[in-house]
Structure 1
C-alpha cells in the first residue's frame, strides 16, 4: 500500500497547496491590518492638528511625520517578531535533523505513533512512516510533529517591507483627504473618506478570516470614528487654549 493510498481523506495529502494558500491568506490579512493601522493612525494625527489650526504646513508636517514614523515602527515590529519566529523554527529544524541522524529508529517509532494518532491502523501507520522516511524524513517529521514547512520559513525582511508598504498605502488616504479639499471641508471629507475606507478594510479582513462581515466592519468603523472624534476634540481644545 502506498502512502497516497493509505492517507485518510481530508489530510494534507489531499490538498497539497493548503499550507501555501493559508500562508498567503495570512499575508493578506496582515496587509489589510497594516493598511487599517495606517488609515487610523495618520487620520487621527492630521484631524487632531487640523482641529487646532487651519494652517497647511503644520498639517502636512504632522501627517508626514506620522506616516514615516508609523511605517518604520510597523516594519521594525514586524521584523523583530518574524525574526524571532524564524530563529525558533530554524532551531526546531536543526534539532529534528540531529535526532534523525542520531536515533533514526526512535524517530521512526515516533512518526508511526503520530500517524496512528491520526486514525491509521498500527500496520498502516508503520508502512506509511517507512515510506515517508525513505522519501524525506525531515519534511515528514516537521509537518506531522511540528507543523513546519522548511521551504516556507518566514523572511523577516519581506515581512518588514510588506508591513511598511501596507501602512504607507493606508496612510496616504487621510493625507490626501485632509490636504486636497478647501480648509472648511477638510474635517468632514477626512471623516467620511476614512470611515468608508475603514468599512472596506474591516469587511475585507473579515472576509479573509472567514467570519461574518457586519460585526467586524462595525467594530472597525466605530473604533476609527472614536479615534478621530477624540483627536479632533483635543486639537480643537488646544487650538482654542493657545489662541
Structure 2
C-alpha cells in the first residue's frame, strides 16, 4: 500500500515539476549551418565579381546560380551526414544485440563497470544489472546510450536535415543579393550589399548565441568580422586577377 502511495506521490511531483530544456538542437544546428554559409559565400562571390568590374545583372545571375548550387550541395551533405549517423547506429545496435545474446556475462560485467563509474557499490548496482538482464530491450538501449554514447536517431532526421539546411542557405544567400535586384549600378549595389549583409551577420550572430548559450554581442561581432574578411579577401583577389 505504501509503495502505491509513494509511486502516486512521485507522479504528482513529476507533473508539478516542469523542466524547460531546449530540445530542437539539431534543427537549430542545421539552420545555423545553412544561414552561415548562405550569408558568407554568396556575399564573398558578389564582392569578388564586383571587384572584377562585373555588372549588377551578371553578379545577380551568378549569385542566384551559386545559391541554387550551394543549397543543393549543403542539403545533400546534411542528408548524407544524418543518413550515415543512422546507419552507424543500426550497425552498432545489431553488434551489441549479438553480444548480449552470445556473451551475456561479459555484457553484464560491462553494465556493472559503467554503473561503478557513477560511484555505485556492488550491492547497489547488482540489482540493476540483474533487472536489465531480464529485459533484453532495455539492456540493449542502456548499452547503446551509456557504453557507446549513441542516441537513437529520428528516422525522419535525414530528410528533415536536408530540407532545413537548404532552405536556411537560400534565406541567408538572398540577403547579399537583394541590392543587385534593385540597384543597376554595381558599385552602389555592392556598398548596399556590404551594409545589408553586415547587419544580417550581426543579427544572425546574436540569434545564434541566444540559442547556443554563448555571449550574444561577442558572437555578433565575430560572425560579422568573419563575413567581412571573406568578402574583402574575395574582392581583393578579384582586383588582383582583373
TM-score > 0.5, shorter chain as reference: yes
What does residue 66 of structure 2 align with? 66
Aligned residues: 225
2:223 to 216, 220, 223: 220
2:207 to 204, 210, 217: 204
Show CA shifts across 1:140-181 (max 9, x none): 111111122335467333322222121111111112133224
- Partner of 1:157, secondary structure, is helix
2:176 to 174, 177, 180: 174
Quote the RMSD (CA, aligned, Å): 2.9
Distance in 1 separating the partners of 2:202 and 2:91: 41
Show CA shifts across 1:107-139 (max 9, x none): 222212211211222122121223344341111
Structure 1 residue 37: Cα displacement: 0.6
Distance 1:152-1:26 versus aligned 2 partners, 3 A rule: same
> Are 1:116 and 2:116 matched, yes or no?
yes
Distance 1:149-1:76 versus aligned 2 partners, 3 A rule: same
Show the 5 A alignment for 1:10-159: 21=23, 24-53=24-53, 55-135=55-135, 136-152=138-154, 155-159=157-161
Distance in 1 separating the partners of 2:26 and 2:196: 26
- Partner of 1:190, secondary structure, is helix
- Which shows bigger deviation, 200-209 or 94-103? 200-209
What does residue 10 of structure 1 align with? none
Structure 1: gaps (5+ residues): 5-13
**Normalising to structure 1: TM-score of the pair?**
0.79
**Normalising to structure 2: TM-score of the pair?**
0.80
Distance in 2 separating the partners of 1:16 and 1:137: 27
